[in-house]
Each structure stands twice: as C-alpha cells, then as structure tokens.
Amino acid sequence: MAQEAIINEDLSINSQWEEVCGQLKTEFGQTAFDSWLKPLSISSFNDGVLRIGAPTAFMKNWVITHYSDRIHRIWERKNPDIKTIQVVVQSMYNSPEATGTQLSFRGGDDSLTKRIKISPTPQKMYEVANNFGGADALASKLNPAYTFENFVVGKTNEFAYAAARKVAESKSVSFNPLFLYSGVGLGKTHLMHAVAQHIKQCDPERTVVYISAEQFLYKFVNALRYKDTDAFKEQFRSVDVLMIDDVQFLANKTKTQDEFFYTFNSLIESGKQIILSADKSPNDLDGIENRLKSRLNSGLVADIMPADFDLRLGILYKKAEQLGITLPENVAEFLAQKISSSIRELEGSLKRIAAHSMLLSGHEITLDMTQDVLKDMLRSIDRKTTIDEIQKKVAEYFNISVKEMQSSRRARNVARPRQIAMYLAKQLTSRSLPEIGRKFDRDHTTVMHAVRKVEELVLEDASMAESVEALRRTLE
C-alpha cells in the first residue's frame, strides 16, 4: 500500500537521521551537538529533497554555515537517494516519538507555521449514558482568575495556549491526551483551569474534572485502604473531560501509575478528553513506566517555554491593571529584565510593590522604591551569575573556547559571541563597564559598543533575540 510505503520510508529516514546525529555528536562534541544539532528534526523528504527543520532562523543560518556540509557528506553515504538537503525554520513542538497524521498549524504570527503531530484519535464517540454524579466529589477547586481572558499570550506560550483553546472549544475530542509541560510557574495550571471554566460555561452538560496528581494519588491510596477501588473507578465513568495536573507526582508510585494507566485507557477508548501537565516532557519524566510514557506521548505534546522579555512586560501590565495600580514604564521594564525565571515570581514581586504602595498610602511606585522593597530578592538574583560563568556558557553555546573569546581575534564567529557575552555581563551582573572590559582584555568603550550592538541586533533579528534569551535563561 502506498501509505505504508510512505510510512516505512519515513521510519527509515528517521532512523538514518539518528545515526547521522550519533556521528555528528562524536565529531562536534556533546555541547555543540546539544546547542545546535539536537533541536533539529526531519521535516520532509520528497523527490530527493530532504528538509531539516530548525526551531529559529538564527539557528537555521548557524547550522547552514557550520554544519550543513558535514551533514550532507555523512548522509550521502547512507542514502544515495538524497540529492539535496535544505535547512528550514520549523518550530520544535512535535515530540520525537509521536507518530501519525501531520498537521500544519498557524499561530497568530503567519511566519511561524508550526507542525504538530497527533495520533489518530478514536473516531468512535460513545454516548455518555451514565451521568450519575460522583465526578464532583473528585474535582479540585478552580481559580476563577485563571481564565483564557486573563492569560497573556506571547511567542513562548502561544502554542500551548492555542492547543488548550482548541480543546476547550471543540465539541468532540481533538488531541488526546493534550500534554502540557514547562518549568514551574509558567502557566500550566492557569491554562488547565481556563479550559475547565470555559467548558463549564459554554457547555454545562459536559462533566469536567480537574485534579492534581497529588490528590489523585491521595484519593487512590484512600480507596485502596478502604477496599473501595471499584467506587473510585466508577467516579470516572461520568467524566467527559479529565485533567490531571503535575503528573510528575506519580513518579515511582507504581500502583497508582497502574491504576492511572487503566483509567486513562478506558477514558480514551470511550472518547473522553484527557489533559495532563508535568514539569518535563513525557520522555524526560523519571520514574514513570515506559508504557505510560508512550501513552502520554500519543496525543499532542505542547511545551511552554520561559517567558521572553515582551511577554513578561505584557503580563506585568495586565496584572498591574488587575491589582488596580499604575506601573511606571521604567519599573515595569526593570522588573521584566531582572525577574525572568517564573511568572509566579514576577507576580509575587508586583504584589509586594503594590502592597507597599497601598499600605504606605500616597507612596507612588517608583524605581527607587521598587529596588528598596525587593532588595533581598534582587541581591540573590545578582549573586547568581559571574562574568566567568557567562563567558563559559556563551563560548560553549557557540562552540568556541573561552581563550578565543578573550583573544584579539576579530573574525565574526568569535566577535559576535564575545559581544553577546559582554552584553549579558552588563545585564546580569552589577559589574561596571571597565570591570567587564578587563575580563575580556578590552577597554570600557569596547564593552559599551558591544552592548549597543547587541541591543540593536536583538531588535532587528527575532531569532538573535531568542538565542540571547536562551542564554540568559541558562545563566539565570
């Protein structure tokens, strides 16, 4: 069958890619491989043209200039059918293990056409006959503030947002399961509550249950204790949409995982929607059985990356509005600049400032006041990064040595990383320009020039901005 042939071909291309990757890793080293080659994935193979997707334009260009010859050379030997290799921009939201239909997906930004893979979902929808309650006893409370309207969308979360919205608005099952993952405080719980509240509002007939994995575990253990597992299972039968938050909690809880696995299968079989969240992708979850992992992978996997500067700024203004305070631009920018790891922390700092200005009534929010109120927090952020660390990380990222970075060489592939490192040193540490300069064997005017240059580049080139952001995140 033609389709089978295509699938087989796909499989062999993908396994060849794995072999090519193995070789590239040996040749270029783990760090360079992780920074530049690991994020690549096979996009398509037609008429001798193989397309490899890179997540950003900056990465694409870097791969083309530094690695494409090698990739081509290695692959030529493995598969003579490949005549041309193209590196294209393609976001990296598809999980490597997912198989099935490929879809194109457009977010708000047209240049960002994302490819997602979803598995064939059970077409059969069973009628939900048993609606005898029980589900409410299962569900945890929802936070009324966690709605779609209150969720600020940016580049780093737009995909997860779109997927959640799609699930909330579909009458039938769309991606099953929808698996959201991110670091802490980046909006997973917010999105899940938003889905639940949207469905409850628009379609009160449908039963939605949101529960944390911790609660799930607790209830299951109780059911075991009281030999009441049948009743526990029964509760799920009336559920149309089941959401379990923070499934990493089930790590190493073999019995609960088994139970979860059966519940999961039976819900999927009867056409119920499942949404899960965790702090890592299914593949990276430790202590979760393989068969469960592959189940978690079988629908749509969407990650939320740490918010970039613009999104942090947008969220600050939105939350300030909700708190009823006016946030001066310089304060907002200062906070968005300094606090980048979690939205929860960003929100926490804003609340502290708001409380201060309200308690000491008449106290305007100013930059001085902000720095004073948050001084402990800011000090701990400042302490974290040193110039040495910045040089090391940036050098690793661009696959040059720290020696080269400090050398007098002016070749672009050394000079640009050097400028980025200077820029980050200025941003992430409280060192002065001459102090930074000394670390690079340069004077302060060179550092100033570098800072300006990178500021310009970041504005002009979105993918450059993303690389700088990525480095900033690893450093923080």
- Judged by the rule CB under 5 A, the positions of this chain that interact with Mg ion are 188-189
The stretch among 181-189, 321-329, 387-395, 451-459 that binds ligand ADP (CB under 6 A) is 181-189
CB 349 within 8 A of CB 335: yes
The bridge status of strand 178-181 relative to strand 208-212 is unpaired
Closest approach of Cβ 428 to ligand ADP, in Å? 23
Query: Which of 187, 242, 241 is closest to 215 using CA atoms?
Result: 242
CB 280 within 8 A of CB 248: yes
Query: Interface with ligand ADP includes 60 (CB under 6 A)?
Result: no
Pairwise CA distance, residues 475 & 390, whole Å: 7
Query: Which of 213, 409, 177 is closest to 297 using CA atoms?
Result: 177
Residue list 324-363, contact with ligand ADP (CB under 6 A) = 343-344, 347
Q: For CA atoms 113, 119, 120, 122, give the dihedral sign.
A: negative
Question: Could you tell which of Mg ion, ligand ADP, none binds residue 190, using a CB distance below 5 to 8 A set by kind?
Answer: ligand ADP
E strands in 336-466: none
Q: Which is nearer to ligand ADP, 105 or 317 (CB)?
A: 317
Closest approach of Cβ 427 to ligand ADP, in Å? 23
Helices (H) and strands (E) counted in the chain, each on its own, are 20, 10
Residue list 137-156, contact with ligand ADP (CB under 6 A) = 146, 150-152
Contacts of 435 (CB under 8 A, 6+ apart): 387
Ranked by CB distance to ligand ADP, the top (closest) residue is 187
Q: Which is nearer to ligand ADP, 245 or 259 (CB)?
A: 245
Question: Could you tell which of ligand ADP, Mg ion, none binds residue 344, using a CB distance below 5 to 8 A set by kind?
Answer: ligand ADP
Classified as helix, coil or strand, 86 is strand
Q: Which is nearer to ligand ADP, 71 or 194 (CB)?
A: 194
Q: Which is nearer to ligand ADP, 152 or 285 (CB)?
A: 152
The number of residues that bind ligand ADP (CB under 6 A) is 17
Query: Interface with ligand ADP includes 315 (CB under 6 A)?
Result: yes
Query: Interface with ligand ADP includes 186 (CB under 6 A)?
Result: yes
Q: Which of 16, 189, 235, 340 binds ligand ADP (CB under 6 A)?
A: 189
Q: Which is nearer to Mg ion, 41 or 182 (CB)?
A: 182
Provide φ and ψ at 355, rounded to 5°.
-60, -45
Tokens, residue 10: 């796909």
Tokens, residue 173: 């099952």
What residues line the site for ligand ADP (CB under 6 A)?
146, 150-152, 157, 182, 184-190, 315, 343-344, 347
